[in-house]
Structure 1
Amino acid sequence: MDKALYIAMSGAKQNMLAQRAHANNLANINTTAFKEDFAQARAMPVFGEHHPSRAYALTERPGTNFEAGPLNQTGNPLDVAVKGDGWIAVQAADGSEAYTRAGDLQVDVNGQLRAGIGLPVLGNGGPIVLPPSATVEIGADGTVSVLPLGGGAVGLAAVDRIKLVNPDPDMIEKKEDGLLHMKGDEPPAVADPNIKLETGFLEGSNVNAVSSLTDILSLSRHYELQVKLMSQADQISQQTARLLQFS
């Protein structure tokens, strides 16, 4: 009974954590370029000086689903979507380099090019800052061009180029800020000139709503079963204790 109770207790806890992961995926179904998180659990032995029958359930986070989401046409010249594999480099809140596929870009009051999440977009020499301009265009290779105010017939002038990278998926991980970062002490990814952008489009979330909802319902039933097993194990333990009192 000790083993059954311990497995049921830890299993119920991990089911709750798994539901949280799937609920977060479902909540971000309309978030631009959101990448679905995986969730799974497995049985693990309890280490230490005790009877070896004890085991518990452990939730693992094997990674993130890096598959591309659908492309949605917006017609906004500052909206860009990465074609195929690749990422847009941004400056995270802690100053480090991070990566996203959310290409809903905008220019702030200081002329700095920012991603829709408010983080500076990185170029060849750091965050991209644009001069006062009447028009901003982003090329397929990430080149940012502007038509300066009062430029007349001078035409567009290239200011910078968005840093586009394509690191090995095994070398990047999704952190709590929702961005992709290089694992451990790995250096920032190098720019890849082969990555192309689609202007006027945004990538949607790659979460499958039906699959996520089905997983949540399934986990809810598993949680109920775990709780019932805990109750039954407790009842059997009490009955066994009463029998021992009469012996």
Structure 2
Amino acid sequence: MDRMIYTAMTGAKHVLEQQATNTNNLANATTTGFRAQLDSFRAVPVIGAELPTRAFVVDATVGTDFSTGSVQMTGRELDVAIQGKGWFAIELGDGSEAYTRAGNFKVSETGVLQTQRGLNVLGEGGTITLPPDTSVTIAKDGTISAVPNGNQVNNVQVIGRLKLVNPEENSLTRGDDGLFRTKGGVPADADPTVSVAGGTLENSNVNVVESMVTMINLARSFEMQMKLIQNAENNETKAAQILSLS
């Protein structure tokens, strides 16, 4: 009987954790460049001489859905989307590198190109500083050019080039901040084959309909686990009654 309790109890616990993951995916359905998180159940045997037939249900994080999201035209000069596979490199507060697909950049008060969270966007030579009173264009290879406002187009000044990387997906890990890092912490090399499109943004790859169906299925699964626990309790009560009669 306790075998049922082990399975139902841990199953209900991890259904709630999967529901939290699914809810987080839904909450980021409109977040630029977001990558959906994937989970699954797996069985883990309970280690112990007296418990060889018992097993826990564990929520195993499979990883991330790295499929590309749809691209939306914005026309904004600091919006840029990666075409195909690849990542933008950004600088964290501790000086380490992280990677994102969100290309809705902004300019800080000091002219530094940053993400919407205020993290510096990295170029191949470090951080990128844009001169004031200029119009910016981002080429397909990530080269950033600036033209002073009111000047002719032939006065183009090349500011730098975005650091675009394309490490192996299985070498990346997602942080609590939603950014990705290499598992060893070693910065990825720039990849000249990664291309971008200016004036566009990549949407989240979360499928809202699929996530809603998953939410309903998880709710039903949790209800089933609760019924199993109730059945185990009822069986134990009946068994105690029979033993007391004997």
TM-score grouping bracket, smaller chain normalisation? over 0.9
Amino acid corresponding to residue 192 of structure 2 in structure 1? P
Give, in angstroms, the shift of residue 118 of structure 1: 2.3
Report the equivalent of 2:162. Answer: 162
Distance in 1, matches of 2:48 and 2:94, equals 39
Give, in angstroms, the shift of residue 144 of structure 1: 1.4
Report the equivalent of 2:20. Answer: 20
Distance in 1, matches of 2:159 and 2:118, equals 20
Amino acid corresponding to residue 64 of structure 2 in structure 1? T
Distance in 2, matches of 1:149 and 1:204, equals 31
Amino acid corresponding to residue 117 of structure 2 in structure 1? I
Once the two structures are superposed, the pairs formed by residues 1-247 of structure 1 within 5 Å of their partners are: 1-148=1-148, 155-183=155-183, 185-247=184-246
Amino acid corresponding to residue 179 of structure 1 in structure 2? L
Deviation per CA, 1:144-202: give whole Å up to 9, x if none: 1223478777612111111000001111121211011101x252110011111101100
Distance in 2, matches of 1:151 and 1:49, equals 81
Give, in angstroms, the shift of residue 137 of structure 1: 1.7
TM-score scaled by structure 2? 0.95
The 3 A distance-change label for structure 1 pair 51 and 118 is same
Distance in 2, matches of 1:212 and 1:143, equals 37
Amino acid corresponding to residue 187 of structure 1 in structure 2? V
Deviation per CA, 1:78-128: give whole Å up to 9, x if none: 100001111000112443101111000111111010122321100122221
Q: Which moved more, 1:44-53 or 1:81-90?
A: 44-53
Identity across aligned pairs (percent)?
43
Distance in 2, matches of 1:201 and 1:129, equals 21
Deviation per CA, 1:16-73: give whole Å up to 9, x if none: 1111111111111111011011011111111134221211100011110001000000
Q: Determine helix, strand or coil for the equivalent of 1:61.
A: strand
Query: Is the contact between residue 133 and residue 146 of structure 1 (CA under 8 Å) also seen in structure 2?
Result: no
Query: Is the contact between residue 164 and residue 191 of structure 2 (CA under 8 Å) also seen in structure 1?
Result: yes
Query: Is the contact between residue 39 and residue 60 of structure 1 (CA under 8 Å) also seen in structure 2?
Result: yes
Query: Is the contact between residue 106 and residue 114 of structure 2 (CA under 8 Å) also seen in structure 1?
Result: yes
RMSD of aligned C-alpha atoms?
Answer: 1.6
Gaps of 5+ in 2: none
TM-score scaled by structure 1? 0.94
The 3 A distance-change label for structure 1 pair 153 and 137 is closer
Q: Determine helix, strand or coil for the equivalent of 2:37.
A: coil
The 3 A distance-change label for structure 1 pair 93 and 178 is farther
* Count of aligned positions: 246
Amino acid corresponding to residue 168 of structure 2 in structure 1? D
The 3 A distance-change label for structure 1 pair 153 and 212 is closer
Query: Is the contact between residue 134 and residue 146 of structure 2 (CA under 8 Å) also seen in structure 1?
Result: yes
The 3 A distance-change label for structure 1 pair 12 and 153 is closer
